Chain A
Amino acid sequence: MKLRADTGESTWIAVHLPLIELEAFIPCWQHGLRSSAIVVLKQNRVIAMSHTAMVAGVRVGMRRGGVQMLLSDVDFFTQDNTRETAALSAIALALLRYTPQVSFAEEASILLDIGASIRLFGGLPSLRRLVRSTVKSLGYSPTIGCAPTAKTAWLFARNAARIGRLGQSCLRTTHISAATDRLSVDLLIAAASSHDLLQGLACHSLADLKALPRAGLQRRCGKSLLAELDLAYSSRSTPQIWIVAAPEFCARIELPDRSDSTETLFTYSRSLLSQLLGWLHAHQFAVKQLRLELQHERGRQAVAPSVLDIDLAVASWQESNLLPLLKEKISLLRLPGPVISLVLKAPETVTRALASDSLFPETVTNPADHQHLLGLLVARLGAAQVLRPCSQEDHRPEFANQWISVMEPSVSTHSKESSVTPLTILRPRWLLAQAIVLEVRRHKPYLDSELTLISPAERIEAGWWTDQTQVRDYFVAVSADHIRYWIYRERSSHRNNAAPAWFLHGIFG
C-alpha cells in the first residue's frame, strides 16, 4: 500500500453500495428472478431485505419471527463481514480499469480519483455509465457521487442512496457549497452518536450544523464531528491509501444456487472477467491464457473441478475480445454435475505491447484483430474446421493441397515462397474430397453429358516410394453445359486390365 498526497485539481467519483449486505449473498440480477424473498439478519434483527420482502411489510429492525409471520417463502442469511470485504475488494479491483487511484472509504464505499481519466473514457457522463455497468456486472447496484473532493463525492453517493436516486453530482465550485448545505446531518459518521441531540436542536442539514457555535458543538459532540464538517466544506481532499492489485490474479465467486445452465455460468464468469480486466489494467498486462475452474458439489466422493482452459492466439486485455471467447467456450462445456463456485485464474500473462495510433484512420485493420477473429472461430467450430493453406511440394494433387489449422504455428517462410506453383501448371480451384468414377460411353468419359477433352494430358507419376503411388494422366474436359472439369485416367500397370478408368477430381470455376 502506498500513501500519496493529493495534488492539484481533481474530480472524484464515489461508489456507494447501499445493498451490499444483501448483494454479498445474492447478486442484483438474481433479485427479480427468485421466487422467494431474501432477508439479511444481524444479531437476529433484520438489516436488509429484498424488494419482495419490503412489499410484504418487512422493515429494518424486525425479528426473525416477525418476518416469518409476514412471509412464508423467505431465505434468511446472516450478515457476513468477510463476504462484504471481499465484495468491496472485487469491485475495487474491477474499477482499476478506469483509474489507478482507487481507495476504500467508510460505509461500503469506494473512491476513485478520475481527474486524469475523464477524456480517455469520453467525458464524465460516459465514464459514470461505465463505472455503473462495471459494478452492475459484478452483481451490485451502486449509487454514484461526483464532486471535486473525495469527501463531498462520498456524501453525494450516500445521499443519493438515502433519497432513492442513482447518483448525485456537482462539479462547479460555485455551486458546491450550496449543494453540501442541503445534505442531511445523518450522513456524517461522527454525528451518529449525537443524533438525538442534533434532532432536539432542529439541526437537520449541514447548513444548520455549520450555523451552530463551534465551541459549544465541540464540547457537546466532540472534536471529530467538527473535523468531518470542515472536511465536507473543504476544497482539498485528505490523502488516500490507494489500492494496489495483487501480483497474481485469482478470483472466486460462489453461486447462491447450484447451477448447470450455461447462461447463468456465463453471467457469473463475466463478473470474474470484470475483475480480471481491472487487474490487467493495473499491471498493464495482457493475458495469454485463461483458466476457469468450475467446482462441483461434493457428494459421497469429492468431484474434481472441471477446468476450462482458454488459450488466446494473441495476448489481449480488451473485453470485446475476451468476452465472446469466454461465451463460446462456456456454451460448448459439458459438465458432469451442477456447479457451486467458479474460480478464474490468469496463469500466463505478458507485458502489454502498446502500439501508437496513427493520426489518420487506418484502412488496413490490425493483424491482431484478425488473430482474435480466428481465436473466436476456433473456439466455437473447433481447430479442425478453420484452416489455412499449407501447400506441399508434391506432384500428387491431394498431397500438394494440404490445409492446416490456423492455430498451428506457421512453417518457415522460405518453404511458403517456393511452394508457389509456376503459372504454366494449370490447377483447378476446386478439388473433390474423393475422386468420382466416371462412366464411359462411346469411349468417352460421361458425366450427365459427354465430356470433351480440351487439353493435352498432364502425366503425374509420383509416390512410388510410398503405398500411395499415383500413375495418372490429367485432362481438362468440358461438359455440354460448359463446365470445365479436371479429370484423370488411371494408367493401370497391368496389361490385361485394358479398359481405361476415368475419374473426376476437380472443377475449374
Chain B
Amino acid sequence: MTQLHLPADRTHEQHRLENRYPGIWRASQLAHDMAATIHTGYIALNQELPNAGWPLGQLIEILIAQFGTAELNLLMPALKRLDHRPVALLAPPHIPFASAYQQDAAEAVSLLWIAGTKHSDHLWSAEQILKNGSCGALLLWQKQIKTEVLRRLHLLAQKSQTLFFVIRPMQAAQSPSPAVLRIALTPKASGMQINILKRRGASNEAPLFLYTNDHPYLSSRVIEPLRQSVPDSPLGLSRQDQQKQTSIF
C-alpha cells in the first residue's frame, strides 16, 4: 500500500529500473524467471501467477471439494493452447464427455483417457507419461497421495515440458506438498473463486474471482457482466478484478 503514496516520478523510475534490469526482484513482488509458462486464459489469474501463466514442467495442485465440479472450467482455456498435443486424463472421477472438449474444431483438445483401477497403476502411468513427454498436459485425480510420491512426480515433471496438474480434495490443504503452485478452487454462481495457497513470491490471501462465460445457458442469470467484460479477453474480468487491476500502481 505504501507504493500508492509514492510520487509519480518515483514509480516511473522504478519501472524504468525494472525494465532495464529484468533480474531485479522485490520481496513484495511475484517471482519471475525464464521458466516457460502457458497462458491460463484468465487475465486476472495470470496477474497473480509467477511468469503470468501455468508453469510447464512443474507440479501444480488444484484442491477442490468435489471432483469434477469446476477444475476443467479453470483449465480448459490453457488446454486449448497446447497446439493439439494430447491431454491425458488419468483416473478422472467420471466419464469425460468427449464432444464437450471438442466444440470448436480449431481449438479441439485431443483426449487420452486412462482409467485403471489401482493406485499404483495410476502413479506408474503418470510416471511414464511424464518421462515420455509426448502429452501436452497430464491431469491426475487422486484422493490419497503421499508426499514422497508427489515429490517424485514433481522431479519427473521438471525433466519434461508437460503441463502437470494433480487434483486433490480440499482436505489436502493441511498437508505439506512439493508443488510450486497450490490453488483451492470453489465453484460460484457465475464462475469460480480461487485461493492461491502457495506460489513463488509474495503470498496473496485475498480470494480471486474468475468469471466464466462458456455458454449463455450457464450464465443466463448474469448476462450483465458478460456485456461489460473486457473485449480483448475471451473470458472477461469480473468487476472485482477490474477494480483490482486499477489499484495496482
Q: Which one of A373, A388, A427, A484 contacts B128 once the chains associate, using CB atoms below 8 Å? A: A373
* Residues of chain B lying within 8 A (CB to CB) of residue A357: none
- A509 touching B73, Cβ below 8 Å: yes
Q: How far is the CA of A157 from the CA of B166 in the complex (A)?
A: 53
| Contacts A419-B99, A432-B94 given; does A387 touch B134 at CB 8 Å | no
* A381 interfacial contact with B, CB 8 Å: yes
* A205 interfacial contact with B, CB 8 Å: no
Q: Which of B34-75 contact A (CB under 8 A)?
A: 65-66, 68-73
* Residues of chain A lying within 8 A (CB to CB) of residue B98: 389, 391, 401, 403
* A506 interfacial contact with B, CB 8 Å: yes
- Per-position contact with B for A471-484: 1 when CB-CB < 8 Å, else 0? 00000101001111
* B220 interfacial contact with A, CB 8 Å: yes
- Per-position contact with B for A92-114: 1 when CB-CB < 8 Å, else 0? 00000000000000000000000
* Residues of chain A lying within 8 A (CB to CB) of residue B101: 389, 429
Q: Which of A362-400 contact B (CB under 8 A)?
A: 363-367, 369-370, 372-374, 376-377, 380-381, 384-389, 391, 397, 400
Q: How far is the CA of A420 from the CA of B96 in the complex (A)?
A: 15
* B149 interfacial contact with A, CB 8 Å: no
Q: Which of B98-120 contact A (CB under 8 A)?
A: 98-105, 108, 110-116
Chain B interface bracket (under 10, 10 to 19, 20 to 34, 35 or more): 35 or more
Taking CB as reference atom, which chain B residue is nearest A384? B115
* Residues of chain B lying within 8 A (CB to CB) of residue A376: 128, 132
Q: How far is the CA of A428 from the CA of B161 in the complex (A)?
A: 29
* A85 interfacial contact with B, CB 8 Å: no
- B95 touching A420, Cβ below 8 Å: no
Taking CB as reference atom, which chain B residue is nearest A401? B97
- B66 touching A483, Cβ below 8 Å: yes
| Contacts A426-B217, A432-B94, A454-B218 given; does A373 touch B134 at CB 8 Å | yes
- B114 touching A386, Cβ below 8 Å: yes
Q: How far is the CA of A484 from the CA of B190 in the complex (A)?
A: 10
Interface residue SS majority, chain A = mixed
* A257 interfacial contact with B, CB 8 Å: no
- A455 touching B217, Cβ below 8 Å: yes
* B187 interfacial contact with A, CB 8 Å: yes
* Residues of chain B lying within 8 A (CB to CB) of residue A374: 112
* Residues of chain B lying within 8 A (CB to CB) of residue A427: 97, 99-100, 103
Taking CB as reference atom, which chain B residue is nearest A458? B217
Q: How many residues of A contact B (CB 8 A)?
A: 54
- Per-position contact with B for A416-455: 1 when CB-CB < 8 Å, else 0? 0101111100111111110000000000000000000011
Taking CB as reference atom, which chain B residue is nearest A485? B69
Report how many A-B pairs have Cβ atoms within 8 Å. Answer: 153
* B249 interfacial contact with A, CB 8 Å: no
* B83 interfacial contact with A, CB 8 Å: yes
- A365 touching B97, Cβ below 8 Å: no
- A364 touching B85, Cβ below 8 Å: yes
- B96 touching A421, Cβ below 8 Å: no
- A481 touching B95, Cβ below 8 Å: no
Q: How far is the CA of A372 from the CA of B133 in the complex (A)?
A: 11
Q: Which one of B65, B85, B97, B135 contacts A373 once the chains associate, using CB atoms below 8 Å? A: B135
* A233 interfacial contact with B, CB 8 Å: no
Taking CB as reference atom, which chain B residue is nearest A478? B189
* B93 interfacial contact with A, CB 8 Å: yes
Q: Which one of B99, B105, B187 contacts A509 once the chains associate, using CB atoms below 8 Å? A: B187
| Contacts A386-B114, A400-B99 given; does A380 touch B69 at CB 8 Å | no
Q: How far is the CA of A373 from the CA of B96 in the complex (A)?
A: 21
Q: How far is the CA of A388 from the CA of B111 in the complex (A)?
A: 6
Report the minimal beta-carbon distance from B172 to chain A, rounded to whole angstroms.
18
* Residues of chain A lying within 8 A (CB to CB) of residue B93: 430
- A506 touching B97, Cβ below 8 Å: yes
Q: How far is the CA of A389 from the CA of B125 in the complex (A)?
A: 19
* Residues of chain A lying within 8 A (CB to CB) of residue B186: 482
Q: Which one of A365, A385, A423 contacts B134 once the chains associate, using CB atoms below 8 Å? A: A365
* Residues of chain B lying within 8 A (CB to CB) of residue A388: 110-113
- A370 touching B134, Cβ below 8 Å: yes
* Residues of chain A lying within 8 A (CB to CB) of residue B135: 370, 373
* A245 interfacial contact with B, CB 8 Å: no
- A364 touching B114, Cβ below 8 Å: no
Taking CB as reference atom, which chain A residue is nearest B215? A426
* A310 interfacial contact with B, CB 8 Å: no
Q: Which one of A324, A385, A397, A423 contacts B114 once the chains associate, using CB atoms below 8 Å? A: A385
Report the minimal beta-carbon distance from B63 to chain A, rounded to whole angstroms.
14
Q: How far is the CA of A433 from the CA of B115 in the complex (A)?
A: 13
| Contacts A369-B134, A476-B217 given; does A403 touch B97 at CB 8 Å | no
- B217 touching A430, Cβ below 8 Å: no
* A508 interfacial contact with B, CB 8 Å: yes
* A226 interfacial contact with B, CB 8 Å: no
- B99 touching A481, Cβ below 8 Å: no
Q: Which of A483-503 contact B (CB under 8 A)?
A: 483-484
* A507 interfacial contact with B, CB 8 Å: yes
Taking CB as reference atom, which chain A residue is nearest B110? A388
* A406 interfacial contact with B, CB 8 Å: yes
Q: Which one of A423, A426, A455, A483 contacts B104 once the chains associate, using CB atoms below 8 Å? A: A423
- B218 touching A509, Cβ below 8 Å: no
- A420 touching B99, Cβ below 8 Å: yes
Taking CB as reference atom, which chain A residue is nearest B193? A482
- B111 touching A369, Cβ below 8 Å: no
* Residues of chain B lying within 8 A (CB to CB) of residue A401: 95, 97-99
* Residues of chain A lying within 8 A (CB to CB) of residue B116: 381, 385
Q: Which one of A455, A476, A509 contacts B68 once the chains associate, using CB atoms below 8 Å? A: A509
Q: How far is the CA of A421 from the CA of B187 in the complex (A)?
A: 26
* B86 interfacial contact with A, CB 8 Å: yes
* Residues of chain B lying within 8 A (CB to CB) of residue A419: 99
* Residues of chain B lying within 8 A (CB to CB) of residue A421: 99, 102-103
- B99 touching A417, Cβ below 8 Å: no
* Residues of chain B lying within 8 A (CB to CB) of residue A482: 186-189
Taking CB as reference atom, which chain A residue is nearest B93? A430
Q: How far is the CA of A427 from the CA of B93 in the complex (A)?
A: 17
- A420 touching B105, Cβ below 8 Å: yes
* B25 interfacial contact with A, CB 8 Å: no
Taking CB as reference atom, which chain A residue is nearest B74? A509
* Residues of chain A lying within 8 A (CB to CB) of residue B5: none
* B20 interfacial contact with A, CB 8 Å: no
- A507 touching B94, Cβ below 8 Å: yes
What would 8 A/B residue contacts be, using CB atoms closer than 8 Å?
A365-B133, A401-B99, A420-B102, A420-B103, A430-B97, A454-B217, A454-B218, A455-B218
Given A364-B83, A420-B102, 19 more contacts at CB 8 Å?
Answer: A376-B128, A380-B121, A381-B115, A381-B116, A389-B98, A389-B113, A403-B113, A420-B99, A421-B99, A421-B103, A427-B99, A429-B72, A429-B101, A454-B221, A481-B65, A482-B188, A507-B69, A508-B73, A508-B218
Residues of A whose CB lies within 8 Å of any CB of B are: 324, 363-367, 369-370, 372-374, 376-377, 380-381, 384-389, 391, 397, 400-401, 403, 406, 417, 419-423, 426-433, 454-456, 476, 478, 481-484, 506-509
